[in-house]
Amino acid sequence: MTILKADIPEAGYGKKIVLRNVALSIEEGEIVGLIGPNGAGKSTLLKVLMGILKIPQGSIQLNDTMITNRNPDLLVKSGMSFIPQGNRVFTELTVAENLELGGYILNGKDEVVRRVEQIQATFPDLKEKLKQNAGKLSGGEKQQLALARALMLQPKLLLMDEPSLGLSPKLVAKAFDTIKRINVEFRTTIILVEQKVHEVLKIAHRIYALRMGEIVFSGTPSELQSGDVMKRIFLV
């Protein structure tokens, strides 16, 4: 079943056009990697899908419902979540308060408490730090908290922008393991923007590659690694 379908003739910032003729289709339950060189338009695409950046024409559908240019808060209520680049958390709030904010549209305090308990089981590293200020967490712990907060609403579709940014190699591996586990355990469909291409290929079901704002490849990880496709994306 297709959960998201987008047809974006162009998108950008003022007169600067970043995306051109981008069309993609995401199936329920997939991890879809968005790869490409710096400046290819990957983060811009996520912002368009999440309604942060509006488009003058085109269409975006979520479960057959048109959501083009819908405000992000309405998209969250429709089952989408977005984790922006940089593992952003509310540094002056505790870990528990960050999680509670993630569940701001849940019905009742009991449901929030239940979700926080569920999150602790998925992210045991955070369990002992619920009362600690998020600003004192390590980079890896902040990454976990950003992901845990997004999962408080159990989104159907999760957009992630470079979750491995700034992490050590050991923590990068752990982050990708967690993403894969969330896809399986929560049945969350994930669109993942990443520069760590080889790590993405290990967990993604399908790949879209962007170059200079256009999709230059769509297919499976095995197809991407055959021939000179990678060279054409990153070097030519």
pLDDT digit string, tens, across residues 48-63: 999 999 999 999 999 9
Q: Determine contact, residues 95/123, Cβ cutoff 8 Å.
A: no
Does 99 map to a domain? Answer: no
Residue 105, pLDDT score: 86
Please check whether residue 133 lies inside any domain of the structure: no
pLDDT surpassing 90 at residue 201:
yes
Reference 26, options 18, 14, 34; nearest CA is: 34
d(CA 162, CA 87): 9
- Which alpha helices (DSSP H) does the chain contain, by range? 42-49, 72-77, 95-102, 109-122, 124-127, 139-151, 169-185, 197-203, 221-224, 229-234
Domain of residue 11 covers 2-88+156-234
| Residue 145: CA count within 13 A, CB half-sphere | 32
Is pTM, for the whole model, over 0.85? yes
For residue 97, pLDDT over 80 is answered with yes
Distance (Å, whole) CA 159 – CA 184 = 16
Quick check: is 73 in a domain? yes
95 pLDDT band (50/70/90 cuts)?
Answer: very high
Q: Flag whether 42 is in a domain.
A: yes
- Where is 37: in which H helix or E strand? none
66-74 own/partner pairs: CB under 8 Å, 24+ apart? none
Q: What is the mean pLDDT of residues 85-102?
A: 89
Q: What is the pLDDT of residues 32-47, one digit of tens each?
A: 999 999 999 999 999 9
Q: Does residue 103 belong to any structural domain of this protein?
A: no
Question: What does the pLDDT read at residue 236?
Answer: 57
CATH number at residue 201: 3.40.50.300
Count structural domains, the chain: 1
Q: With respect to residue 224, please indicate whether it lies within any of the assigned structural domains.
A: yes
Question: For residue 56, with 0-12 CB atoms within 10 Å meaning exposed, 13-18 middle and 19 or more buried, which class applies?
Answer: exposed
Residue 203: which pLDDT band, with cuts at 50, 70 and 90?
Answer: very high
Residue 47 lies in a domain: yes
Does residue 95 fall inside a structural domain? no
